[in-house]
Structure 1
Amino acid sequence: MKASTFVYPWDVNGDPEAPERIAALGVRQATLAAAYHSTRALTPRHPRHRIVTAEHAAVLYPTDPAGPRWANSALRPHPAGDWAPGDAYGEAAAALERAGLEVHTWVVLAHNSRLGAEHPGTSVVNAYGDRYPWAPCIAQPATRAYLVDLAAEAAVRPGAAGTELESLGWYGLQHLHAHDKTSGVALGDAGMYLMALCFCPSCREGYAGRGLDPDLLADSVRTALEPLWQGAPDDAGWAGVEKLLGQETARATRAWRDETARTLQEAAVAAVRAEAPEGFQVLLHADPVTYHVGANPGVDPAHILAVADGVVVPCADGPGLIAPFAEQGRDGAVLAANFPIVSGMGGDPGGLAAGAARARDLGATELRLYHAGLASDADLEATRKALGAL
């Protein structure tokens, strides 16, 4: 199975040993961040630093805010600060290519706290009126246009053989934002869906188009959530949403959100293909349950495999999410199983070989490893041995 590892430019730039060290893991590809959200990251082997603080969501290559793509847009990408100056992506990509690795871009889209801070109206608004500044509402026309343009620009960097688009869909509450203190009440799968429902003007109009009164819907959501705030157990899954909200209402909200995500995904992939050379591969980070939100937003497996070249599927809790994509029988589709290899972040590099074998049995065609730059020396050695065993 072809394997790729995720990498940040700051893992490579300034560390002449990094490209060969990454290649020595046994991977054939590096998935290199070209547009990324704010983060604080370890660089445990870098000769110049040990901590990188990316203060805001940024593109990691030169962009021209006054250029033709952005001149008429109020929403524009920001260049990185001193954590990734100049063409940080291009410098790292060139070094990785010299080490014999194929480089694909890694593009984070609907996850951007700076966008929410500078343009509060772009954010998801829950039924209580609380804004999620890290979560752009993908129903808003200006936000959708921004995300599509960003996907095209950030994905198709010089020399890249493909891209992986993360967060191309709805975001919700369950996101590590600054010093997160939101786990005191276990809302469960159904509660998290209700907390993800957006009530910005665009979404209110969308619900109305599905026959729902937005004010009554917001009141129903708050009423449905009240027992969960008081500690009642959540009936996990979609059946729990229908029980809490009512079947007809729940299905109408899901229809609006599913259509909104699908059309955005179609537009973004089409924009990337229009910019890309022939043979350029386009993958989406995805979950096969359409109402799920986050970095791996929910998609309809049949639909997304008809739009993109494949998916990158989270496998931190096992490779079971691969199966619904494999069941589509789409010849040539890339089904990449994404395993965390940083033991300090819950990964299990020692179990990678067994997990990868199970993923392959379920239909996975490739592996993704999160994340070579963040992993300890021991984690990298365990990963190298696991890939060698495969």
Structure 2
Amino acid sequence: MKASAFVYPWDVNGDPAAPARIAGLGVEQVTLAAAYHSTRALTPRHPRRRIVTAEYAAVLYPPGDRWSGRGLRPYPAGRWAPGDAYGEAARALSAAGLEVHTWVVLAHNSRMGAEHPDTSVVNAYGDRYPWAPCIAQPATRAYLVDLAAEAAVRPGAQGTELESLGWYGLQHLHAHDKTSGVGLGEAGQYLMSLCFCPSCRTGYDEQGLDADALTASVRSALEPLWRGTAQDEGRPTIEKLLGEETAARTRAWREDTARTLQEEAVAAVRAAAPAGFQVLLHADPVPYHCGANAGVDPARILSVADGVVVPCAGGTALLAPFAGHAGERTVLAANFTVVTGMGGSPGTLAADAARARAEGATELRLYHAGLASDDDLVTVREALSTR
């Protein structure tokens, strides 16, 4: 199974030993961040630093002329990734014999929400989620499609992985987070992620739903969760709390909005890319799920993209729905966390990879070569040597 390690440019730039160290793990590919959200990251082996603070979502290369005069545009990175940080790292990694693919984070941008608050998801209570651009808004969709094409197709890249290409909702890794006091479960997360911005209200109307009535229904449906009296069973709970027909029409609007955005973005990448350029999505096989791994319909997305990257840190169960629709050349990449300090289990990687292969996986993704400890990397290298 081909393996790729996730990497940030700042893991490589300024550390001459990094490319050979990453290649020495036994991976054939790196998935290198070209557009990324704000983060605070450890660099445990870098000769000059130990912490990188990426203060806002940014592109890690100089943005192109297409953004001139536009209200929504990508932000160049600051001192954490100056200039063409992506290009510098990509050249060094390629010189070490590694195939480089871009890693592009899309609908996850807190600075956009702060500077353009009308672009954000608005929940049923009127609260805005500044980290979550609403993908139903025409200007936001145009921004995301153009960003996908530009950030994905960087010089020398042989493919891309598009993350957060769908709805983002309540759940968000956020500094000093205090939102876990009530266990919302899958149903509550979904209901708290429904957007009621003007574009979404119009969309609900087009599905035969009165947006004001839907807002009231969502608030009412959430009351048992706030009281802790509802038992969460995922989609059946959503339908029970919201009503089967209302839930179906709400999902229809959201799933069609995400599907068409995904199709437009993949088409834009293909139009900008050379022949043979691989396009993958970070994806979840439950269409109404939100977040970095966008909810998709497996059959439909595999008819559009070359494959998917599937989160497998909690097990390999999410692979099967995609495997059932995979073709001979479909890429089904199982994504495992190999950083012990972040809940990963590099010691079980060999067994996990075998299990993933049995479930239909064709490739591995390892999160994350730059964040892992030396001991974790030794364990990863040993596991990959048994393939």
TM-score norm. by structure 2 comes to: 0.99
Q: Deviations over 1:329-381 (max 9, x none)?
A: 42210000000000110000001111110000000000000000000001111
Equivalent in 361, 384, 387 of residue 387 of structure 1: 384
CA distance in 2, matches of 1:160, 1:186: 42
Percent of residue pairs identical: 78
Q: Assess if the C-alpha contact under 8 Å between 2:187 and 2:232 holds in 1.
A: yes
Q: Alpha-carbon deviation of 1:72?
A: 3.9
Q: Assess if the C-alpha contact under 8 Å between 1:187 and 1:234 holds in 2.
A: no
Q: Alpha-carbon deviation of 1:230?
A: 1.0
- Corresponding residue for 1:31? 31
The 5 A counterparts of 1:242-257 are 242-257=239-254
- Corresponding residue for 1:230? 227
Q: Does 1:203 align with 2:192?
A: no
Q: Does 1:165 align with 2:162?
A: yes
Aligned partner letter, 2:148: A
Equivalent in 151, 155, 162 of residue 154 of structure 1: 151
Q: Does 1:327 align with 2:338?
A: no
Please give the secondary structure, in 1, of the residue aligned with 2:169.
coil
Aligned partner letter, 1:152: A
Structure 1 vs Structure 2 CA RMSD: 0.7
CA distance in 2, matches of 1:14, 1:219: 54
Q: Does 1:376 align with 2:378?
A: no
Q: Deviations over 1:155-180 (max 9, x none)?
A: 00000000000000000111112221
CA distance in 2, matches of 1:63, 1:21: 30
Q: Assess if the C-alpha contact under 8 Å between 1:301 and 1:324 holds in 2.
A: yes
CA distance in 2, matches of 1:249, 1:37: 34
CA distance in 2, matches of 1:99, 1:137: 40
CA distance in 2, matches of 1:72, 1:49: 37
CA distance in 2, matches of 1:241, 1:195: 11
- Corresponding residue for 1:51? 51
Q: Alpha-carbon deviation of 1:235?
A: 2.3
CA distance in 2, matches of 1:306, 1:328: 9
The 5 A counterparts of 1:159-308 are 159-308=156-305
Q: Assess if the C-alpha contact under 8 Å between 1:191 and 1:234 holds in 2.
A: no
Q: Deviations over 1:178-210 (max 9, x none)?
A: 221111110000111100100000000000000
CA distance in 2, matches of 1:128, 1:199: 9
- Corresponding residue for 1:89? 86
Q: Assess if the C-alpha contact under 8 Å between 2:302 and 2:326 holds in 1.
A: no
Please give the secondary structure, in 1, of the residue aligned with 2:25.
coil
CA distance in 1, matches of 2:231, 2:111: 33
* Residue segments in structure 2 that go unaligned for 5+ positions in a row: none
Q: Assess if the C-alpha contact under 8 Å between 1:190 and 1:234 holds in 2.
A: no
Q: Deviations over 1:302-340 (max 9, x none)?
A: 000000000000001011101100001422100000000
- Corresponding residue for 2:40? 40
- Corresponding residue for 2:10? 10
Q: Deviations over 1:41-98 (max 9, x none)?
A: 000000000000000000000114xx2x112421000000000000000000000001
Q: Assess if the C-alpha contact under 8 Å between 1:189 and 1:234 holds in 2.
A: no
Aligned partner letter, 2:15: D
CA distance in 2, matches of 1:114, 1:345: 25
Please give the secondary structure, in 1, of the residue aligned with 2:385.
helix
TM superposition outliers: structure 1 runs of 4+ over 4 Å: none
Q: Does 1:125 align with 2:122?
A: yes
Q: Alpha-carbon deviation of 1:233?
A: 3.5
Please give the secondary structure, in 1, of the residue aligned with 2:284.
coil
* Residue segments in structure 1 that go unaligned for 5+ positions in a row: none
CA distance in 1, matches of 2:155, 2:61: 11
